[in-house]
Structure 1
Amino acid sequence: MKKLLLLVLSTFISHPLLADLIRINQLGYAPRGSKVAVWCSKEQDTLKYFELVNAVTGKVEYKGKAGRAAGAYGPFTQTSRLDFSSFTSPGQYYLQTAKAKSPAFLISDNAYKGAADFCLRYMRQQRSGFNPFLKDSCHTHDGFPVYSPDTTFIPVSGGWHDASDYLQYVTTSANATWHLLAAWRDFPGVFSDSLQANGLAGGNGIADVLDEAKWGLDWLIKMNPRDDRMYNQIGDDRDHQGMRIPKQDTNFYGRGLERPVYFCIGEPQGLLKYKNRATGTASTAGKFSSCFALGQQLFTNIYTSYADSLGHKAKAAYAFGMAKPGVCQTAPGRSPYFYEEDNWTDDMELAAASLGKEYLSNALDFAHQEPVTPWLGKDTARHYQWYPFINQGHAELARQVKGPQRDTLIRYYREGIDRVWQKASRNAFYRGIPFIWCSNNLTVAFAIQCYWYRELSGDNTYLQLEQACFDWIFGCNPWGTAMVYGLPAHGDTPTDPHSSFTHLKQYPIDGGLVDGPVYTNIFKNLIGIRLQDVDEYAAFQSDLAVYHDDYGDYSTNEPTMDGTAVLIYLLAAQEHAAREKGYTVTQGGITRMDSSHKEIALVFTADEFGEGLSSITQTLKQGKLKGSFFFTGNFYRNPLFRSGIQRLYKEGHYLGPHSDKHLLYCDWKKRDSLLITQQQFTNDMHNNLVVMQELGIDTGKVNCFIPPYEWWNDSVAAWSANLGLQIVCFTPGTGSNADYTYPEMGKTYKSSKTIIQSVKTFEQQRAGKLNGVILLIHAGTDPRRRDKLYLHLQQLIKYLKQKGYRFKRVDEGTI
């Protein structure tokens, strides 16, 4: 449909209208992040100024000076960067010049919300064994061992198909598994739980990304069935005999429906015409080990015995690699294409850094053997030659060591980034990634290295380079197309990828990252490529690089499982950063919203007492405000409060949980000491949500909660994230939460007059005023407190309005 529409439009659009273009990130921009578009021209023009226009009102909101004339790039004669980073107001906008207008785009904290979860759809669709998208099973007969001391059937069904073919590699699957595990570890609040472990509908108390990572781990365990047995690959390029849906297993290997399973021998392999250049087992063993080690850390409090088993396997796999250093490349067959991985010390470094303190010395030794991933700054490399494209071990290790050792690891990252920057700084797209096969995979991996460098060092020197890589994936590139199927939904994205799902059945492959542009000379020399349709991007192809949204182009338009998994980590980082810039986060809980906006959230909690509910509701109605209410299951069940709760919900206030039984989660004096288990937490929260549902409250829209006693720790925050809930709490220092005190408590008691003065003092003396503050008031208090703060709520609201503050529901300001 996209191709037909473009062909029709091309008959009505004259060339001059296409001479100038503005390329943007179609997914949008974070308000406080780097925001750059690229102006491109096929004429010799230069650009002096540009305008940012509100797409709703048509009002010019910002005028900016265009960046220096950056010269020709790809199909364009002149290019320039349009930097509007200083503009931070959320909204829908477009950029315009005298001859060009960009598509509309979003500036919002929520610009990337849900994108990481969206890309998980592709990972589930790539599942081998039971496939939840097809609701059917495939490749259940894998497989028969080759190059192995084993001679009988090896049960290795499971895992993910590598790309649009159905080969399966530990090399890429382990890298994907690690990134999914790390994404949940580093950004648990980004992910939701809406599916079972098998990928079918229905939450199971575990974030969907962690379910997907476990799917990968379970397959890796099968491929490493014993301490002295390690397999690297299922199938070979005999698979490449036409497109088919995966459940249509075909006998290509002479053994019925069984496929070959390649044993890691540490020597060259290849059953047919071609062989690889394997020299050892460490590259594969290190990947096994790091996945098992990280899995042990994350599953310890979920599946204890499973985690213990992973811990044993992590150390055994590391020993397997140490016994035979070198690379374990994937095996080719009838064609010369395979993953030509030539490095292995990075894999062993990551493994050693993940195994514990006793391995740190080994990790440092490995780190010094490959300080900079060799492709960084180069113009070319063989296919997957320096995989997994960046050294994750440097970041893992830098978080555990101090002083000069840490500084050295960070310097290694900077040196690699600077090599790319020397090339990227010469063009307007800040493009320094070579256009080799799977250039998009290199792009997202490199963006993550930039992100880790910035997080570890606090140095923002390469922030725009990092963002340019991200923007490139979502449309700020010469072709003006996003490289992820279906993301964003309103954008120009692949519609005709090299995939059997779309080509044979028109199934969407939501979230799949395609390979990306390749050098034109590479494209011209690949075997078996023939475009099926008219090239809608013909005007943007060049002698530098090509990209085709065409089923026939397996080099630029085939989605890959491992690239998508790495993108999921990057998207999670972007969503996390967009939400948390300007926010205050304590122990994983948001205690202050965006401090750059003059907005306040009024939140109310209750467990035992609720006599102030009617008064609060009436005051909010008079002030035309929406509040956020967090009640325990005890409160929701109390028939005395039922009508008041239902009125709140009807009038549009946010209703959330506060735990079912008002549990104390952790010790008052030792915050890291838990007083409950994860299962107890999950059961209690489930019961709280159930009683809310019984009152007619749509808990599908519940996305945040206030912990009982307003007391929690990092572990509880992670458990909450597993359930799709973000912890929020009052902003310390305002004092409003002291309204539960009563005179008999002595010096702890705070009168309403004292509390209101505390709020005013906070507003007058803090640099950030009350911007983003969360004010907590109890909906009811002990009868011994006769001076009820909620009776002074109207007075407090009037003061805050006079000071220019706006009010919003807390779920709108933090999620």
Structure 2
Amino acid sequence: MFIRFFFFLFLTVGLAAFVFRAEESAVIRINLLGYRPSSSKTAVWGSLTNQTTKRFQIVNADNEQVVWQREIGQDFGAYGPFQHTYRLNFTAFRQPGRYFLRTDDGTRSPVFRIDENVYDGAADFCLRYMRQQRSGFNPFLKDSCHTHDGYTMYGPMPDSTHIDVSGGWHDASDYLQYVTTSANATYHLLAALRDFPDAFGDQHQTNGLAGANGQPDVLDEAHWGLNWLLKMHPTDEWLFNQLGDDRDHAGLRIPKEDNLYGKGFERPVYFATGEPQGLFKYKNRATGVASTAGKVSSALALGYQLLRNKPADYVDRHYVDQLRKRAQSAYKLGIQKPGNCQTAPGRAPYFYEEDNYADDMELASVEQINMMGTRSQQAIQWRNAALKFAKEEPVTPWIDNDTARHYQWYPFVNVGHAALAKQYPVGQRKVVTDFYKKGIETVWQRAKENAFYRGVPFIWCSNNLTTSFATQCYWYRQLTNDQQYVALEQANFDWLFGCNPWGTSFVYGLPGNADTPTDPHSAFTHLKQYPIDGGLVDGPVKGSIYKNLIGITLHEPDEYASFQSDLAVYHDDFGDYSTNEPTMDGTATLVYLLAAKQSEKRPKTPNAGMSAGAPPAPETKALFTKGAKVRGDTSLRQLAIVFTGDEFADGGKSIANTLRRHKVKASFFLTGRFLRNPRFTSLVQQLHREGHYVGPHSDQHLLYCDWTKRDSLLVTQDEFRSDLKANYRALARFGIQRSKTKLFLPPYEWYNDSIAAWTKEEGLQLINYTPGTLSHADYTTPNDKNYRSSDAILQSIREYEKQGITGLNGFMLLMHIGTSPDRTDKLYDHLDELLTEIKQKGYRIVPISKL
């Protein structure tokens, strides 16, 4: 519940000195996904004050035994919000297990794993976001959208001519669709399958719905991209570049249909003319079509290579032949019309300002060889062309600059260098691999000065740049066996998953029990509370960039306020479109990197690359927020009714009787104070006797962390542990065993990732109610500005059930077993009505342990 105002004032006075003492002054940032035993392993300690530290330990999280300790080396000094920073290098420690780091000043890291299989399933997890981004038929929504696309602009045909270009992926949280990002994403997905086939499973059909079809899911997703690219390049001479424009941004909506463009439900599709475009005041600076044509050619060529030997029931021969023909015609267009093909602005001066094309044509040249064979008469000509293009752009330009316009040099890694290097014998690759090395060395000269080894600039989509740079380091290492940049490569990978000043993973829901984005700039989450599993958000930007952006308003208190700085800011807030918007192409490039990490130097087994005894992939259909499970399996039509109790129990008997009549088992989380209250003894005995789940809710109903500054703890771990143990002792008086009650619901339903980590160290799973309804507001009183009547609460539940595609599946619907006498409108008086409606809609009501 949200704490009542008068009680909050009481706590503020009583705990003021304690808050100052308990607030974090130093943190340890780690890769929340974990580490492979043989990989480079480094965490970063940072102090918000002038304190320092000298030693660190690795502690076994299961028994709290110290298993390794070392002196801390160089003080890297100030960085961002930190006054002192150190790198905690534990690469030499290789023993699998669950651990946390601890420094001699008492700072602890979150719990992490060291295991050979620690990245298993991560690449497949990110494919969830790609499926959710589908246009045409959307398997997440189980509905179609944008089926009327589109009407042509700037083409050789009359403007507003209808052409079928439905399909593909929405670019980000808006619904624009760009060939440049879609082709790059398609290529990365195909390359991931080509290079790491054992990293992917088969749980979905080609249309994205659940069900195996005998092909890896990554191929099904890439196939979706190929289909759309063929529509956007339907003839030898026709190449379209963009679907929709920024009129899309008129408002938030789920992508059922768009009628924002003045021609029914159709959207404009822009022909790639190679000249400046823009239907309104603003124009781009296009100079050619090669940047788009090269990407399209490469993706189609690689698609041809991977699909030509697939069975006829998956892909027909005509389709495969079309891939080959269009790969060739797109390459020809790139040669004929060199230059940069930028996206078209609408009513605002923003567009993808791509200013390079040599990298795209380099890759396209190599893929012509790979498609047609090295014995082709043109193979030498294509290789020479590729080398010429490579020399035109040896280093991706953003590497030499600390700023860039939006998508000015794209893609953010020169894929062509890796492809071209493989055309040469190992001993002759240096002419190409040195291009990679030069770029890596440039970043290293910046990175080596700070503890995070951060040398990638903080511009828009900095996470995409980070992913691409880590991939460049990986490719360079694989092509040359030069190990000198291993730590830099790993640092960029670690940054994405928590080893950054904010201590958060930048991938929604990955890992499932840690700090990840929960409030991204996405209509799916903001309007419908749909999880966008696997989406990589844009990432931090310079403080100067953030301060100059228009229209940013944070909707919630900044939980990372202590870690913001002029160097860089990041907000897990819907209102920050600059740092917290997921992107389709960034996620696709991350799929490749995660597949590489999973597959690297793994022992071969008969089971598709999965080592014996490997833990399951991340939980597939549950939702976690900051380490707490907040929703169960959304594929099952069942939910849990949850009650909490501390001070009041006036509804207890009525609730128990209603549950008995409906033959429903509910879940009750009770404080030690509730359990020791003699007035409530018979009620607790009845709930336990009748088979309801009864679990802990803390002993003294403590407030664990500050309401406005969530990272600020108000309790120490010892105080947390002592209070929790007292709660379990009170439960034991009723014969309720800790071994059978492993779920813990925090007091006030308010916690942070530290509380989640401490709970896990106790062998328990933190849980919380599912957001989206007002059920938890049944404690509010008429004199409270947040007061909600029972009718309003019930209506919120009904509306959510109607709107969500998964309804109340997996829901943890929280209410209170009793409320203040000041509230006479009791929600529990409507429990019979609520249970009847839920059951009529076909839901099973189960104890929370069954979700």
TM over 0.5: yes
What residue is the counterpart of 2:144 in the other structure?
A: 137
| Alignment-derived partner of residue 122 in structure 1 | 129
> Do the aligned residues in 2 keep the contact of 1:498 with 1:551 (CA within 8 Å)?
yes
Which residue type is aligned with residue 295 of structure 2? K
Deviations 1:172-197 (A, max 9, x none): 00010000000000000010001110
**Equivalents in 2 of 1:550, 1:458: separation in Å?**
42
Partner of residue 254, structure 2:
245
| d(CA) in 2 for partners of 1:203, 1:282 | 38
- The 2-side partners of 1:398 and 1:36 are apart by 31
Distance 1:293 1:348 in 2: 13
Aligned partner of 2:214 in structure 1 is: 205
**1:285 has 2:293 as partner:** yes
Q: Is 2:315 the counterpart of 1:331?
A: no
Aligned position for 1:420: 443
Distance 2:302 2:130 in 1: 20
For the structure 1 residues 520 and 443, does the alpha-carbon distance in structure 2 shift closer, same or farther, using more than 3 Å as the test? same
Alpha-carbon offset, residue 201 of structure 1: 1.2
Correspondence for 2:356: 343
The whole-number CA distance in structure 2 between the counterparts of 1:333 and 1:17 is 47
2:136 and 2:360 map into 1 onto residues whose CA distance is 28
Give per-residue Cα distances to partners, 1:362-381, cap 9 Å, x unaligned: 11111111011111142111
Q: TM-score, normalised by structure 2?
A: 0.67
Q: Distance in 2 between matches of 1:155 and 1:2?
A: 51
1:532–1:38 distance in 2 versus 1, CA, 3 Å = same
Answer yes or no: is the 8 Å Cα contact 2:520–2:573 preserved in 1: yes
Aligned residue identity for 2:180: T
1:745-756 mapped onto 2 (5 Å cutoff): none
Cα distance change of structure 1 residues 493 and 403 upon mapping to structure 2, 3 Å threshold: closer
- How far apart, CA to CA, are the structure 2 residues paired with 1:421 and 1:506? 40
- After superposition, residues 795-810 of structure 1 pair within 5 angstroms as none
List runs of 5+ in structure 1 lacking aligned partners: 595-815
Q: How far, CA to CA, are the matches of 1:506 and 1:202 in structure 2?
A: 25
Alignment partner, residue 44 of structure 2: 38
1:780 maps to what in 2?
Answer: none
1:633 aligned residue: none
Q: Distance in 1 between matches of 2:200 and 2:452?
A: 31
Q: What's the secondary structure of 1:518's corresponding residue?
A: coil
Which of residues 63, 67, 71 in structure 2 aligns to 1:65?
A: 71
The CA deviation at 1:531 is 1.1
- 1:162/1:323 CA distance change after superposition, 3 Å: same
Deviation of residue 211 (structure 1)? 0.3
Asked whether the equivalents of residues 20 and 99 of structure 1 are also in contact (C-alpha less than 8 Å), the reply is no
Does 1:378 pair with 2:384?
Answer: no
Question: Is residue 384 of structure 2 the alignment partner of residue 361 of structure 1?
Answer: yes
TM-score if structure 1 supplies the norm length? 0.70
Q: CA offset at residue 404 of structure 1?
A: 6.8
Q: Does 1:260 align with 2:273?
A: no
Classify the secondary structure of the residue corresponding to 1:545.
Answer: coil
- Within the candidate set 329, 335, 345, 1:322 is matched to 335
Give the corresponding residue for 1:526: 549
- The 5 Å alignment of 1:303-322 reads 303=315, 304-322=317-335
Contact 1:47-1:69 at 8 Å conserved across structures: no
CA 114–13 in structure 1, closer or farther in 2 if over 3 Å, else same: farther
Q: Which residue of 2 aligns with 1:449?
A: 472
- Displacement of 1:46 after TM fit? 2.9
Is the CA contact 1:17–1:99 (under 8 Å) kept in the aligned structure 2?
A: no
Contact 1:353–1:396 (CA<8 Å) still a contact in 2?
yes
Assess if the C-alpha contact under 8 Å between 1:299 and 1:306 holds in 2: no
- Asked whether the 8 Å contact 1:180–1:569 carries over to 2, the reply is yes
For 2:182, the equivalent position in structure 1 comes to: 173
Partners of 1:523 and 1:294 in 2: how far apart? 39
> Aligned partners of 2:21 and 2:349: how far apart in 1?
42
Tell me by how many angstroms 1:307 deviates. 2.2
- Counterpart in the other structure of 2:279: 271
Contact 1:187 1:573 in 2 (8 A): yes
Matched, 1:546 2:554: no
| Alpha-carbon distance, 1:480 to partner | 0.6
Aligned residue pair count: 587
* Aligned-residue identity in percent: 63
Alignment gaps of 5+ in structure 2: 614-851
Cα distance change on mapping 1:322 and 1:15 into 2, 3 Å: farther
Tell me if structure 2 keeps the 8 A contact 1:2–1:495: no
Corresponding position of 1:106: 113
2:226 is aligned, of 191, 194, 217, to: 217
Q: Secondary structure at the match of 1:69?
A: coil
What does 1:350-749 align with in structure 2 at a 5 Å threshold? 350-356=363-369, 357=374, 358=379, 359-402=382-425, 406-577=429-600, 580-581=601-602, 583=603
Say which of 177, 193, 204 aligns to 2:202.
Answer: 193
| 1:411/1:116 CA distance change after superposition, 3 Å | same
Deviation of 1:35 (Å): 0.7
Which residue number corresponds to residue 233 of structure 1? 242
Whether 2:75 is the aligned partner of 1:52: answer: no
Q: CA deviation at 1:337?
A: 1.4
Residue 441 of structure 1 aligns to a residue in which SS? helix
Q: Which residue of 1 aligns with 2:82?
A: 76
Residues 258 and 266 in structure 2, CA contact (< 8 A), matched pair in contact too: no
SS at match of 1:522: helix
For 1:134, the aligned partner's letter is L
The one-letter code of the counterpart of 1:255 is K
Deviation, structure 1 residue 333? 1.3
Residue 238 of structure 1 and its aligned partner are, at CA, apart by 0.4
Residue by residue over 1:475-519, the C-alpha shift from the partner in whole angstroms, topping out at 9 and shown as x without a partner, is 100011110000000010000000000000000000000000000
Q: Spell out, residue by residue over 1:598-623, the C-alpha distance to the aligned partner (whole angstroms, 9 max, x if none).
A: xxxxxxxxxxxxxxxxxxxxxxxxxx
Question: How far apart are 1:306 and its partner, in Å?
Answer: 2.4
Supply the AA of the counterpart residue of 1:132: P
SS at match of 1:14: helix
Give the CA RMSD over aligned residues: 2.2
Superposed structure 1 runs of 4+ greater than 4 Å apart: 1-4, 7-13, 588-594
State how far apart, in whole Å, the 1-side matches of 2:137 and 2:342 are.
28
Q: What residue identity is the alignment partner of 1:24? A: I
Q: Could you say what secondary structure the match of 2:296 adopts?
A: helix
Structure 1 residues 484 and 15: alpha-carbon distance in aligned structure 2, compared to 1, 3 A threshold: farther
Distance in 1, Cα, partners of 2:72 & 2:495: 19
The residue number in structure 1 matching 2:745 is: none
Measured in 2, the distance between the counterparts of 1:68 and 1:99 equals 19
Q: Show the counterpart of 1:86.
A: 92
The structural deviation recorded for 1:309 is: 1.8
Note if contact 1:95-1:101 (Cα within 8 Å) is conserved in structure 2.
yes
Q: 1:28 aligns with which of 15, 34, 44?
A: 34
Cα shift readout 1:17-73 (whole Å, capped 9, x = no counterpart): 411110010011111101110000012233221000000011101102223100100
Residues of 1 paired with 2:139 and 2:557: CA distance? 34
Pairwise CA distance, 1:207: 0.4
Cα separation, 1, equivalents of 2:178 and 2:239: 12
Shift of 1:402: 2.7
Which secondary structure state, in structure 1, belongs to the residue aligned with residue 406 of structure 2? Answer: coil
Cα drift, residue 99 of structure 1: 2.6
1:519, 1:544 within 8 Å by CA — same for their partners in 2? yes
Distance 1:391 1:494 in 2: 29
1-structure distance, mates of 2:458, 2:34 = 25
Q: Are the counterparts in 2 of residues 584 and 593 from structure 1 also a CA contact under 8 Å?
A: no
- Secondary structure in structure 2 of the residue aligned to 1:546: coil
Residues 249-281 of structure 1 show CA distances to partners (whole Å, capped at 9, x for unaligned) of 232111111100000000111111211110000
Opposite residue 126 of structure 1, the aligned amino acid is Q
Cα separation, 2, equivalents of 1:591 and 1:245: 37
SS in 2 for 1:233: strand
